[in-house]
Structure 1
Amino acid sequence: MTLVPWIADWNRRHTFGPGYGPHARWHGTAEVVGASWSGLMMLWLLARDGQRERGLATGVAALLPLLRYGAFNVTLAVPGTSPYEEGGPPLRLLGLPASLVSQDVLIALALGGYWLERRAARQ
């Protein structure tokens, strides 16, 4: 979760591209930094000790990607928004915007990890 925005957004095609103004760069920078902080928070939470504290920390860590990236799926229903760069070719995976697919994979992995952790704790 922490590395994906640095790879996908922190470059001349996206945040620092010629079509991006200062406000778009402001949003891009906030996204990269916010995702990095969320990723570091997840790692810190997962390092917690104690069964009860570990269960809560695992749940919160699993929800962070959903809270961070889930809203991007809602943007598809908002008129006037686009997941694609202006002037660039639409990047798609499985018929969906590639950025949303990668974010949804992170969400699914986090929730799947939470499910596996809870299942192991019950055994």
Structure 2
Amino acid sequence: MIQNSVQNFTPSNVDQKRSISIGKVLLSTVAGLTAIGGFLADWNRTHLFNPNWPPHAKFHDAWTISVGSLLGCSGLYYLLRNSSRPQEDLHIGTMLPAIFWITQGISFTFPGAKGLESEFPDLVPRVKGVWINEMFASAGILAITGTGYALERSRLSKTH
């Protein structure tokens, strides 16, 4: 019995089990960035530890960090789990982190809402007078998400 298990455990079988597509790499990277991005971007003097922010503003920032972390981790779960419904997992695993980035972009449409440049213009780059702020980050991440989703969906449609 052990002999049969060893024979079936060949390097080619291992490589097939461990291979991950480019689409899934892109989507997992987005989900991972979504999970830790709030800590990286906001756990500092410009946001959570900003002495000029009232406690309620810090509450909303902590909420945003928590939501991003939960959406990113949940997305990773669906993207990386082994299930009998890979297409459904792909849809859910893609959409959960995307919700965070979509809502970040939408936030700029609210009255008086502005990006980091409103308080810390020295930290936000400008190209020909245009601030390259969180809106551009959202658009870029969503473009990567769309690319990863299209690639992975195409791969799955060929295998299932």
Mapped partners of 2:73, 2:57: distance in 1: 24
Say which of 89, 92, 97 aligns to 1:57.
89
Mapped partners of 2:71, 2:60: distance in 1: 16
Mapped partners of 2:108, 2:132: distance in 1: 10
Structure 2 equivalent of residue 44 of structure 1? 77
Once the two structures are TM-superposed, the CA of residue 86 in structure 1 deviates from its matched residue by 5.1
| 1:105 and 2:137 correspond | no
Structure 1 runs not aligned, ≥5 long: none
| 1:17 and 2:17 correspond | no
Contact preservation (8 Å) 2:104, 2:135: yes
Once the two structures are TM-superposed, the CA of residue 106 in structure 1 deviates from its matched residue by 2.1
For normalisation by structure 2, the TM-score amounts to 0.66
Q: Which moved more, 1:42-51 or 1:10-19?
A: 42-51
| 1:6 and 2:39 correspond | yes
Q: Percent identity?
A: 24
| 1:80 and 2:112 correspond | yes
Runs of 4+ in 1 over 4 A off after TM superposition: none
Higher percent of residues as helix = 2
CA RMSD of aligned residues (A): 2.1
Q: Which is bigger in relative contact order (C-alpha 8 A, separation at least 6)? A: 2
Structure 2 runs not aligned, ≥5 long: 1-33
Mapped partners of 1:58, 1:82: distance in 2: 33
For normalisation by structure 1, the TM-score amounts to 0.83
